[in-house]
Structure 1
Amino acid sequence: MGSGARTGAERRRTGTTAGRGRAALRAVVAVLLAATAVGLTPSAAGAAPRNPSDAEIGAAEQARADAAARVGQIGAELAQARTRIEALHQAALVALQDYEDKQAAHEAARAAAEAAAAAAVQAAADLQRGRDDVAAFARASYMQGSTSPGITALLSAAGPAELIERSALLDAAGVNRVEVVAGLTVLEEQAAAAEQVARQATEQAAAVQQEAAGLLADAQSQEVEARRQADALDAEEGGLQAELQQAQQVLAGLQGARSAAEQAAEQAAARQAAERQAAAPAPPRTPARPVPTPSAPAPVRPTGGTAGAPSASAAETAIAAARSQLGVPYSWGGGGSNGPSNGIPPDSQLFGFDCSGLTQYAYAQAGIAIGGTSRDQWWLNRNKQVATADLQPGDLLFWGGNRNDYMSITHVAIYIGGGQMIEAPDRGQHVTVARARTSSSTYFGAVRPSAR
């Protein structure tokens, strides 16, 4: 894709800049190490520490400032790259929910196809029984002589009574023959129709499955690429910060040497002054004045919300279920009403929950079906919205990219009160208690599934 190509070029450009930054930092560290070796080595055993010159300190400070500027420049580029990676990750989450929606449609289509196939099998069995009935009737008619011309059957009668009986039997046989053949025709039509319905249902299920597979592949490729870029970015940033930290430590060593030398000089001067003014009293110390603690700003209280009062028992059950899963790993696409499960690639070997799997499980334990994806959980409870100021334990909190489009929702958590929530955060993390991020720019809103 075009965005992928741009991202790759920018990564290469960032990598080149980072390489130059690391080279510069290594040079800075070498200079500072040399200066430190000179500045911290005492001239003789027991001698006072050498005080680095102003020129040495100035050069080290300038070198550290230059290195910090280089790291800051690269850090800005890395921050932009991280923003792009986060957008890619969010797109992967949206694609994952598209897949889960389509997969649910596939399951419904497959069930319909199975029902149609069963109906076709039953129709075929009914048809075979009809054919068997026709064959049995033909055999019986032949054995009983009713297939002979009617006049022959009548003429062979032994007497008037048998003549009357034989005539009645022939009339009944003719009527029955018509009914059997008509019934067989209906069964043949029903069997053909059932087979066509089964074939169409199977084709529809296969088409939906193919769409789901395409959506899954798209979600997986975006998530894998987002993780790869994030890991590379973390390694790049970690290396730069380590080199800058080394430069700062060397500079701190020089500054420490100066401080030690100055302290030694002050102590020597103090001893000399004490010897001259042994009788002079020390000046009184002025106690430090306490610094007032600024008061926190009053929180903004949004308005709105349509949910009724919560069911305390349902909310408590859902929260208890969520708490029981604390520490369970985050697994992309994992978990559901029955508890944690293996996710989908790249987390197919990781047993745990994603965000909506955790909340679905929590409310399933309270007997409430809230849907499988985060945006489904919003949509199914959209008439039970809750204002931020009115949040109650058990409410579901949502985050997304566009406040006016619920299809942009990518994360959900369960509020537990006291400004906290339980969530399955993201890869590499575990189900945890966290601060409820309702002031975030991506906060979408809240609903109350337990509302009466």
Structure 2
Amino acid sequence: MASHRRPKQPSRTRVTVLTATAAAAVALTSQAAQAAPKPSKDQVKAKTDALYEQAEKATEEYDGAKDKQKKLEQEIADLQDKVARGQSDLNTLRDGLGSLASAQYRTGGIDPSVQLFLSSNPDDYLDKASKLDQLSAQQIEQLKKVQKKQRMLAQQRQEASTKLKDLADTRTELGKKKKEVQAKLGQAQKLLNTLTAQEKATLAAKEERASRDSARSVLGDAKPASGRAGAAFQAAQTKIGTPYVYGASGPSSFDCSGLTSWAYAQAGVSIPRTSQEQANIGTRIYSQSDLQVGDLVFFFGDLHHVGLYAGNGQILHAPRTGTVVRYESMSTIGGPFEFGVRV
């Protein structure tokens, strides 16, 4: 018969130890919370600026992938059109060769080798065709045209297949970059949400004052712009106050390279979409004192930010998420000036 024993109660010593341990854990948690005070608005701004810079770098990579996707789609469409037209031409050539064979048959005897050709691939056959006395020069010429067209179609189909794979890879990369940008912006927004309404207003007012000061500075003396650069700069000026949106190239929103490419397009000049590609056109200007209004100006070692030189050390650009197209001092961009480009 089983015995029924009462569970052994914990000793007073053990209870005391457990209570002390729990109390210590609570105390440590409280100390940890006290050791991580709420960051100041300046600290929040510094962290969000760093996140915005990372987001802008990812944005330029996103723009590059999007531009590549657009070009690949057009190239694939062109190739598919060529293949369709080439297949139609091939069918016409085959029909013509069939007509020759039919005419030969009606006049007294089609060669068996031609019959074979009409129902098979002519590549192996053509190497021997020129040696056969039974074939006419016209038939041989027609065979050569068919073979050339078949090889061209095979090459175009292979090229289209390769580009389709590249397009699939590019779309995957595009999705990754989009998620990366959104993640950085989400982190920045969480940090900003820790600020009070008054702190947010203070930071916004500070940026607004800096932009007004830059705008006043632009009114001073500056080297004259060339015709195209001047026209691009004037176009960009009409977009002051337009919001920054990553991946946007106008006319109602822009990212940094979206603004510069749009502005030059208004001046009748087509330039690449991304800042890194824009850096490789025109004439480079390494001295800030040699810059002219409308020159492209690039910042950071990887050239992920670009704007238009506005004169007197100021630029006109689309800075980052949460801002608008505005003037800003080159000294406050957050990264070093690398060089300018005169288009």
Question: Shorter chain as normaliser: what TM range?
Answer: 0.5 to 0.7
**TM-score relative to the length of structure 2:** 0.66
Q: 1:142 to 1:447 in 2, by over 3 A?
A: same
SS at match of 2:248: coil
- Specify which structure has the bigger relative contact order, considering alpha-carbon pairs within 8 angstroms and separated by 6 or more residues: 2
The whole-number CA distance in structure 1 between the counterparts of 2:280 and 2:92 is 51
- Show CA shifts across 1:282-326 (max 9, x none): xxxxxxxxxxxxxxxxxxxxxxxxxxx975322321221011112
Kindly indicate whether the alpha-carbon contact (under 8 Å) linking 2:242 and 2:325 is maintained by their aligned counterparts in 1: yes
Partner of 2:310: 416
Partner of 1:233: 191
Partner of 2:245: 331
- Show CA shifts across 1:422-451 (max 9, x none): 21122222212x23223656122331424x
**TM-score relative to the length of structure 1:** 0.51
- Show CA shifts across 1:70-89 (max 9, x none): 89x4316993x765654444
Partner of 2:109: 147
Partner of 1:426: 320
Partner of 1:379: 280
Whichever residue aligns with residue 266 of structure 2, its letter is Q
Partner of 1:130: 93
Q: Please say if 1:75 is aligned against 2:39.
A: yes
Where does 1:65-104 land on structure 2 (aligned, <5 Å)? Answer: 73-75=37-39, 79=43, 86-104=49-67
Q: 1:422 to 1:241 in 2, by over 3 A?
A: closer
Whichever residue aligns with residue 315 of structure 1, its letter is A
Q: Please say if 1:196 is aligned against 2:154.
A: yes
Partner of 1:357: 258
Whichever residue aligns with residue 437 of structure 1, its letter is M
Kindly indicate whether the alpha-carbon contact (under 8 Å) linking 2:52 and 2:188 is maintained by their aligned counterparts in 1: no
Whichever residue aligns with residue 231 of structure 2, its letter is T
Q: Please say if 1:388 is aligned against 2:288.
A: yes
Kindly indicate whether the alpha-carbon contact (under 8 Å) linking 2:309 and 2:316 is maintained by their aligned counterparts in 1: yes
Q: 1:104 to 1:193 in 2, by over 3 A?
A: farther
Where does 1:434-449 land on structure 2 (aligned, <5 Å)? Answer: 434-438=327-331, 442-449=335-342
Of 357-366 and 90-99, deviating more is 90-99
Partner of 1:208: 166
1:393, distance to aligned residue in structure 2 (A): 1.7
Kindly indicate whether the alpha-carbon contact (under 8 Å) linking 2:62 and 2:247 is maintained by their aligned counterparts in 1: no
Q: 1:365 to 1:449 in 2, by over 3 A?
A: farther
The whole-number CA distance in structure 2 between the counterparts of 1:178 and 1:18 is 100
SS at match of 1:352: coil
Please list every run of 5 or more consecutive structure 1 residues that lacks an aligned counterpart in the other structure. 1-15, 22-69, 150-173, 243-308, 341-350, 403-407
The whole-number CA distance in structure 2 between the counterparts of 1:235 and 1:333 is 24
Where does 1:301-312 land on structure 2 (aligned, <5 Å)? Answer: 311-312=225-226
- Show CA shifts across 1:179-228 (max 9, x none): 34423432442343223222222222222222322322222212211222
Partner of 2:230: 316
Partner of 1:366: 267
- Show CA shifts across 1:379-401 (max 9, x none): 224x421412333322222222x
Q: 1:216 to 1:17 in 2, by over 3 A?
A: farther
The whole-number CA distance in structure 2 between the counterparts of 1:439 and 1:329 is 19
Whichever residue aligns with residue 84 of structure 2, its letter is V
How many pairs align?
273
Kindly indicate whether the alpha-carbon contact (under 8 Å) linking 2:41 and 2:195 is maintained by their aligned counterparts in 1: no
User: Which of the pair has more CA radius of gyration?
Assistant: 1
The whole-number CA distance in structure 1 between the counterparts of 2:98 and 2:172 is 52
Q: 1:99 to 1:203 in 2, by over 3 A?
A: farther
1:240, distance to aligned residue in structure 2 (A): 11
The whole-number CA distance in structure 1 between the counterparts of 2:234 and 2:110 is 84
SS at match of 2:257: helix
Kindly indicate whether the alpha-carbon contact (under 8 Å) linking 2:308 and 2:316 is maintained by their aligned counterparts in 1: yes
SS at match of 1:379: coil
The whole-number CA distance in structure 2 between the counterparts of 1:411 and 1:148 is 72
Q: 1:179 to 1:122 in 2, by over 3 A?
A: farther
Whichever residue aligns with residue 59 of structure 2, its letter is L
Q: 1:428 to 1:176 in 2, by over 3 A?
A: farther
The whole-number CA distance in structure 1 between the counterparts of 2:188 and 2:259 is 25
The whole-number CA distance in structure 2 between the counterparts of 1:20 and 1:232 is 19
- Show CA shifts across 1:7-45 (max 9, x none): xxxxxxxxx889956xxxxxxxxxxxxxxxxxxxxxxxx
Partner of 1:346: none
